Structure 1
Amino acid sequence: MSTETIRTIIVDDEPNSRDELRFLLGSFSGVHVIEEAGSAEKALELIVRHEPDLVFLDIEMPGMSGMDLAASLKKLKQIPLIVFATAYPDYAAKAFRVQALDYLLKPFDEEDLAETMNLVKARLREKNENSETRISQGRTGRLPVDDHGRIVYVVPEDISYFYREERETVICTPAREYRSKMPMKDLEDKLKPYRFFRTHKSYMVNLDHVAELIPWMNGAYQVKVEGRSEEIPVSRNYVKALREQLEL
């Protein structure tokens, strides 16, 4: 993202809603609406092509829904910030499960939009700072993993979690799992510039992939991450620190 421009795409099947949002965004410095789309299918094509910083996304549209589009964007290397802009308040919980940054209701309130744009700017600034930190530390590469005799390079941000199983470390992404002879401590050290958190003596989770925190027993919890069906243990000793990392 440019430090001066927030490249934005508006997705809504109602032209009047797109026009209203474009007009309101015109009052915010640095916001550049680069494209509009009247369907999620068209939006996906534009997002892949332009790699925007921010997408305002309606939910109920003909064909693919905005919620389905948001879920599919998790597969992209450059994932834009998502703000749902909809007339329906009932989708708020689902919106945050697909890691939407915010949720605006129509008709748009200018103060609400201003608060949303402050969130957007803060999150993009944080992403830039994290990126610069990784570059300064020389940690811009990928993690090499042996895969049946081939070396596969895994993008650290794509790792949902990893854990130790007997003499192997299992590295889990939304798409698949890799088994490595690398000790878990060594992998933890390699991934220090990224947002990984120890939830258990044998598990570390990518905080950016966390979707749910589920009470379990005796003060312990379980975590669910985006794109994976299994539940990951959270020892009660780590629960407070985990919530502090996750919650505003």
Structure 2
Amino acid sequence: MIEIVCSDALRPRIERELAAAGIPTGTSAETTTDSRWVLVERGHTAPDHAPAIVFDALDYVQVVRMLASGIRGSAQTPRTMIGQRDDAFVVLVARDVLVIEAADDGAIAVTASGTARMRGTLQQIETAWGPLGFVRANRSQLANLSHVREIVPWFNSRYVLRMTGGNDVEVSKMYAKHLRARLGI
């Protein structure tokens, strides 16, 4: 069981991501004797009863991904997801998806052959497909690094990703730091 020590605004998002990864959580009263780890947002006090992982608020998805990969051990990253195109369901292969965009009722995957609706939030898809090269470009888009032709420096420490197929994806200032770290630039 994982105990979470963070701001009230961040707690539901972390709990949702942990639940999607199949990791049980609890309050400090429930987990004091049962918790194996404590997730602590930087700036909050870490309890003494279990090892703590201290993280920045922007990095909580990466922390959940790290925990999930350690708990699952040898579990494989899913390389396909189900999408819906018109009235038919389609199998979306990660390597074929260029960009995933947020939508009101899930997400939209953009491929060379068109678009398809996907279930789940961008955070859930990023957690599942992050190890396959998908990175958060901004609040509403994930980009597949295997389809990036150019990375163009832009204004105010931002970037534009020129994708195969002619799409441009703007990387916001907030996510540019993560992109640079991921690519080593």
Q: Scaled by the length of structure 2, what TM-score is found?
A: 0.52
The structure-2 alpha-carbon separation of the partners of 1:212 and 1:247, relative to structure 1 and needing over 3 Å to count, comes to farther
Q: Does the 8 A contact of 1:207 with 1:246 survive in 2?
A: no
Q: Which of the residues 201, 214, 233 maps onto 2:152?
A: 214
CA shift, 1:237, in A, is 2.4
What is the rounded CA distance, in whole Å, between the counterparts of 1:183 and 1:232 in structure 2?
19
Q: Does 1:166 pair with 2:107?
A: no
CA shift, 1:210, in A, is 1.3
Structure-1 residue corresponding to 2:85: 147
Q: How does 1:151-230 map to 2 (within 5 A)?
A: 151-226=89-164, 228-230=165-167
What is the rounded CA distance, in whole Å, between the counterparts of 1:171 and 1:185 in structure 2?
14
CA shift, 1:157, in A, is 1.6
The structure-2 alpha-carbon separation of the partners of 1:231 and 1:240, relative to structure 1 and needing over 3 Å to count, comes to same
Which amino acid letter does the alignment assign opposite residue 143 of structure 2?
V
Structure-1 residue corresponding to 2:28: none
The structure-2 alpha-carbon separation of the partners of 1:246 and 1:175, relative to structure 1 and needing over 3 Å to count, comes to farther
The runs of 5 or more residues in structure 1 that have no matched partner are: 1-134
Q: Please say which structure displays the higher CA radius of gyration.
A: 1
Q: Which of the residues 218, 233, 248 maps onto 2:170?
A: 233
The structure-2 alpha-carbon separation of the partners of 1:200 and 1:150, relative to structure 1 and needing over 3 Å to count, comes to same
What is the rounded CA distance, in whole Å, between the counterparts of 2:98 and 2:78 in structure 1?
18
What is the rounded CA distance, in whole Å, between the counterparts of 2:102 and 2:169 in structure 1?
12
More strand, by proportion? 2
Which amino acid letter does the alignment assign opposite residue 243 of structure 1?
R
| Other structure's SS at 1:136 match | coil
Task: Considering Cα pairs closer than 8 Å and 6+ residues apart, tell me whether 1 or 2 has the greater RCO.
Answer: 2
What is the rounded CA distance, in whole Å, between the counterparts of 2:183 and 2:112 in structure 1?
20
Structure-1 residue corresponding to 2:183: 246
What is the rounded CA distance, in whole Å, between the counterparts of 1:209 and 1:161 in structure 2?
9
Deviation readout 1:107-136 (Å, 9 max, x if unpaired): xxxxxxxxxxxxxxxxxxxxxxxxxxxx93
What is the rounded CA distance, in whole Å, between the counterparts of 2:109 and 2:175 in structure 1?
21
The runs of 4+ residues in structure 1 deviating greater than 6 Å are none
What is the rounded CA distance, in whole Å, between the counterparts of 2:170 and 2:95 in structure 1?
21
Which amino acid letter does the alignment assign opposite residue 180 of structure 2?
R
CA shift, 1:193, in A, is 3.2
RMSD over equivalenced CA pairs, Å: 2.6
What is the rounded CA distance, in whole Å, between the counterparts of 1:237 and 1:223 in structure 2?
15
Q: Does the 8 A contact of 1:223 with 1:234 survive in 2?
A: yes
Which amino acid letter does the alignment assign opposite residue 173 of structure 2?
R
CA shift, 1:247, in A, is 4.9
The runs of 5 or more residues in structure 2 that have no matched partner are: 1-72
Q: Does the 8 A contact of 2:126 with 2:136 survive in 1?
A: no
| Other structure's SS at 1:151 match | strand
What is the rounded CA distance, in whole Å, between the counterparts of 1:192 and 1:247 in structure 2?
16
What is the rounded CA distance, in whole Å, between the counterparts of 1:234 and 1:175 in structure 2?
24
Q: Scaled by the length of structure 1, what TM-score is found?
A: 0.40
